[in-house]
Chains A and B, each alone.
Chain A
Amino acid sequence: MAILVYADHNNAELSTATLNAVTAANEMGGDVTVLVAGDGCDAVAAAAAKVAGVSKVLVAQDAALKDHLAENVAPLIAGMASGYSHIVAPATTNGKNIMPRAAALLDIQQVSDITEVVSPDTFVRPIYAGNAMATVQSTDAIKMVTVRSTSFDPAAEEGGSAAVEAVGGAADAGLSSFEGAALSDNERPELTTARVVISGGRGMQSGDNFAMLEEVADLLGAAVGASRAAVDAGYVPNDYQVGQTGKVVAPELYIAVGISGAIQHLAGMKDSKVIACINKDEEAPIFQVADLGLVADLFEAVPALKAELEKQGIQAR
């Protein structure tokens, strides 16, 4: 058996979510080939070749592949599918955008966002915002799967020595063109891989007040997230959103500040190792999942938290 893993990347760096997908692929059993589709992405291919558990790297470079447009990438994946038992991608926005289109071209029913590999054809995936876990068996000849990154450890970035092979077959479908991106200018750790996440909700009352969370985040080396309510209110950009339809995080410590804890938000953070929360409403559902809940006005508690961390000399690990 051979497994094809679609690598998510920005033409310069391999995303960590790809490392999680490699781990899931290895659990399915078989030689893992990583496909790096992009343009000017030699460094990504070289990084993929070093990942432990990768036996081959295929690189497709073309201007049409640079921006991960599904219309151009999906036919490339579909064209190389024969010979593989599985096609796997991280459930990032690129993976979610491209994989079902490739599955359509192959007449395969994809299995989305798996959290566990039970056997080569059987996977566990959350449904209903993670309020139920479905074990599903695929009957398709080729299994197409996207992987929830927080459910699998990342494969080691060093230790592999896979051969890198250039492949052709790229073409511009002529259906879409990339116009530009407005990416968050964020020096903090990435939300989905941070060891500590501090998130704010509607209780923050404004975007400016997120500065309080950022100060605590800087002390702890944490990423800053938000509930849907805070994003909808325009306090912070969309890429901060943690939840059922936003990002799924599972840090060592998740601190929820001014977040009531709707099931849609819990879906994105309830696998965190430790959950702490600060909320003045002691009836808020967030307290039911929090290991350490503090009933307090966040406008007093968050500055006090910063002061206490400084007093104790607690620093980012």
Chain B
Amino acid sequence: MKVLVPVKRVIDYNVKVRVKADQSGVDLANVKMSMNPFDEIAVEQAVRMKEAGTVTEVVAVTLGAEQSQETLRTALAMGADRAIHVVHDGELEPLAVAKMLAKLVEEESPDMVILGKQAIDDDANQTGQILSGLLGWSQGTFVSKVEASDGGVKVTREVDAGLETVALKMPAILTVDLRLNEPRYASLPNIMKARKKEIAKKTPEELGVDTAPRLTIVKVEEPPKRQGGAKVGSVEELVSKLHNDVGVI
């Protein structure tokens, strides 16, 4: 079985985001960038399936600027076998990303695509679902457990009311949630080895996908600031303020 794992280069989850003064977006200059944390979980899942013998090849994919290659190297150091980089400068919306992934699925014929459930930059939570719709494949979203079953796959999903289990026919798309696994850190020897692994380059034009955005960004602003920081000295004072002054209890 072959697995495709799309990964995205995003602002590191620890970085304090700053909105640009001209309201055109978020300032990404000289900011630490990392692999989207949910995508690390996706890579880890694919690599574990390979280590368990159910997967024969793991192909990492990214779509983005030249520097996104670093994210692919991380995936390769974690254990992906090879990588594909669709080079594109500027924003890509989930629909365009999914269309390019669908083309790569046609070329690569994987049995499964494993993605993070959402990217922590645009917080859209769409790409896996769109890809499933475009391909007409089954979809298991927000997955916290994966088991093989009857030539298909059984997944446990984290939903608003708890957990649910769904059986999926192959080929399948999985989008992974936080509890699925704890991603490994790449070891130094594996980082060295990853430098020699193949990264094939492509362009959106070669894939025949129109990447023109459908959404126009009118402006990006800071959210309203909370005026916090006030302290109370005791539980009695806390209850008194909540009850008498603020009146919420």
Contact = CB atoms under 8 A, between A and B. Distances in A.
Interface of A: 10, 67, 69-71, 74, 92-94, 96-105, 107-113, 118, 122, 126-140, 173-184, 192, 196, 220, 228, 231-232, 237-239, 244-245, 247, 252-253, 263-264, 270, 273-276, 287-296, 301, 304-305, 308-309, 312, 314, 317
B19 A136 contact: no
A136 B218 contact: yes
A286 B166 CA distance: 38
B228 A132 contact: no
Contact of B121 (A102, A128, A274, A292): A128
Contacts of A103: 95, 126, 130, 133
Contact of A137 (B138, B160, B218): B218
Nearest to B156: A182
A105 B222 CA distance: 34
B228 A131 contact: no
Given A132-B17, A220-B249, 12 more contacts: A97-B139, A104-B95, A127-B123, A128-B26, A136-B218, A139-B216, A238-B144, A238-B179, A247-B160, A275-B226, A291-B246, A314-B239
B213 to A, nearest CB: 8
A264 B130 contact: no
Interface string B221-249: 11100111111111110110111001011
Given A69-B166, A102-B133, A232-B179, A135 B217 contact: yes
A181 B164 contact: yes
A252 B249 CA distance: 9
Q: Looking at B165, B220, B228, B231, which has the most chain A CB atoms within 10 Å of its CB? A: B228
Contact of A100 (B130, B142, B161): B130
Contacts of B22: none
A301 B169 CA distance: 52
Contacts of A275: 226, 228
A232 B179 CA distance: 7
B219 interface: yes
B162 A129 contact: no
Top 7 A-B residue pairs of the complex, sorted by shortest distance between their CB atoms: A104-B133, A100-B129, A109-B214, A175-B138, A101-B133, A100-B126, A183-B162
Contact of A264 (B13, B141, B243): B13
B163 A92 contact: no
A89 to B, nearest CB: 12
B17 A178 contact: no
A195 to B, nearest CB: 8
B178 A245 contact: yes
B220 A127 contact: yes
A304 B158 CA distance: 35
B132 A101 contact: yes
Contacts of B118: 245
A134 B238 CA distance: 36
Interface of B: 11, 13, 16-17, 19, 26, 38, 93-95, 98, 117-118, 120-127, 129-134, 136-142, 144, 154, 157-169, 177-179, 213-223, 226-236, 238-239, 241-243, 246, 248-249
A127 B235 contact: no
B215 to A, nearest CB: 5
A292 B195 CA distance: 52
A177 B166 contact: yes
A228 B178 CA distance: 9
A179 B229 contact: no
B124 A287 contact: no
Contacts of A136: 215-218
Of A133, A184, A253, most buried by chain B (CB within 10 Å of CB) is: A133
B129 A178 contact: no
Contacts of A232: 178-179
Contacts of A134: 217, 219-220
B162 A74 contact: no
A70 B139 CA distance: 8
Contacts of B239: 305, 308-309, 312, 314
Given A103-B95, A109-B93, A292-B232, A127 B223 contact: no
B222 A184 contact: no
Contact of A174 (B13, B169, B230): B169
B235 A184 contact: no
Contacts of B120: 128-129, 244-245
B28 to A, nearest CB: 11
Contact of A176 (B16, B19, B168): B168
Contacts of A304: 235
Given A96-B141, A104-B95, A314-B243, A290 B126 contact: no
